[in-house]
Amino acid sequence: MRIGIQASYSGGFRETADEIRDLEAAGLDVATVAEVYTFDSVSQLGYLAAVTERVELLAGILPIYSRTPALLAMTAAGLDFVSDGRFTLGLGASGPQVVEGWHGVPYDAPLQRTREIVEICRQVWRRERLEHAGPKYTVPLPPEQGTGLGKPLKLINTPVRQRVPIMLAALGPKNVELAAEIAEAWEPIWFMPERAADVWGEALSAGKAKRDPSLGELQVVVGVPVAIGEDVDALHDLVRPHLALYVGGMGAKGKNFYNDLARRYGFADAAETVQELYLSGRKDEAAAALPDELVRAVSLIGPEGYVAERIAAFAEAGVTTLALQPLDDSRENRLRTVETMRRLCG
């Protein structure tokens, strides 16, 4: 089991990089950088590439709507170059709040866009002349849509690798099936080992049946809140506000992917209650209404023995990387958490 950590996207790059270097020395395998409505993650990933030596760097995730497919390919090739082949391109559809509310572009056809973007990226990395004609992207533009001056081009630089690994963040059955078919890695959210097969097993099997063997085994990267100790049970309450935000507030009724996931896990009544409370402004009540079973199952909070058992459950369910979200509110404690997790994960 590999261990990663979510780099801070609200603080200074230098301070975050200093901590990632210490964690790298302690055995950290992967550093992930998110991109929401923050500083762009590419800047921080490039900074980390310059000051780290071994840790793998993961864009977790870049929204597919905020950059053209060619720019995504160029960016990934550049980050893979400056990191000496340590970069993974994480892609995802994000959601209408960010895509339409921040980037100002329509949130449409995420499945088709994702498939075409992956095809275009891999064509760019192979340094082929870029020609693509799909429902969502046509490169170069035909004369009737452009100036008539466009022509097929290929990447000037030679990438470190002809295929930079791609991770797709996916929740719905069709998205998960696509990830299992075309990506090197898949990132779900709130992974419940005991119910994951019921929720995602059919989609994963369908995707893997069409998978190119050259992609290797599908890697599964799961973010997980973590606190290890004898007196940390109360820290489960720190998980609740974030869960409530997504289950209750990330979308309107009937248009919230995360609420749908809670329902698919078997918490339909609670999901409805949390959403009603959150959308009415009663956020604390929404957090309190989350089922204890859900909060505990998606976290690693407890004594070492308990956490070791839960790590084994995640591994048995197919997880290959745990992206830690330490609840310890200090750099020293986060370092201790990574050291302990490194020991428990072997």
Residues 116 and 244 in one domain: no
pLDDT for the residue 96: 86
Residues 195 and 243 in one domain: no
Residues 180 and 267 in one domain: no
Please report, for residues 136, 261, 275, the alpha-carbon distance to residue 281 in angstroms, rounded to integers and kept in the order given: 38, 22, 10
93: region left, alpha or beta (phi > 0 left; psi from -120 to 50 alpha): alpha
Query: Comparing C-alpha atoms, which of 236, 206, 224, 242 is closest to residue 320?
Result: 224
Residues 253 and 173 in one domain: no
- Per residue of the chain (346 residues), give pLDDT as tens: 999 999 887 778 899 999 999 999 999 999 999 998 889 999 999 999 999 999 999 999 999 999 999 999 999 999 999 999 999 999 999 988 889 999 999 999 999 999 999 999 999 999 999 999 999 999 999 999 999 999 999 999 999 999 999 999 999 999 999 999 999 999 999 999 999 999 999 999 999 999 999 999 999 999 999 999 999 999 999 999 999 999 999 888 888 999 999 999 999 999 999 999 999 999 999 999 999 999 999 999 999 999 999 999 999 999 999 999 999 878 999 999 999 999 999 8
Residues 269 and 126 in one domain: no
Q: How many domains does the chain have?
A: 2
Residues 185 and 271 in one domain: no
pTM of the model: 0.95
Domain endpoint, select from 265, 280, 299: 299
Instruction: Please classify residue 213 by burial: count the beta carbons closer than 10 Å to its beta carbon, then call 0-12 exposed, 13-18 middle and 19+ buried.
Output: exposed
Residues 120 and 76 in one domain: yes
Asked if 62 and 89 touch (Cβ cutoff 8 Å), the reply is: yes
pLDDT for the residue 11: 73
- Amino acid residing at 19: E
Residues 179 and 69 in one domain: yes
Residues 147 and 162 in one domain: yes
pLDDT for the residue 95: 84
CATH number at residue 77: 3.20.20.30
pLDDT for the residue 192: 97
Domain endpoint, select from 299, 315, 331: 299
Asked if 64 and 110 touch (Cβ cutoff 8 Å), the reply is: yes
Residues 24 and 95 in one domain: yes
Alpha-carbon distance of 166 to 182, in angstroms, equals 9
For tokens 């409505």, name the residue.
37
Residues 150 and 252 in one domain: no
* Eight-state DSSP code of residue 135: S
Residues 86 and 96 in one domain: yes
Alpha-carbon distance of 28 to 32, in angstroms, equals 11
Domain limits for position 36: 2-226+300-345
Between β-strands 87-92 and 62-63, what pairing exists: parallel, antiparallel or unpaired?
parallel
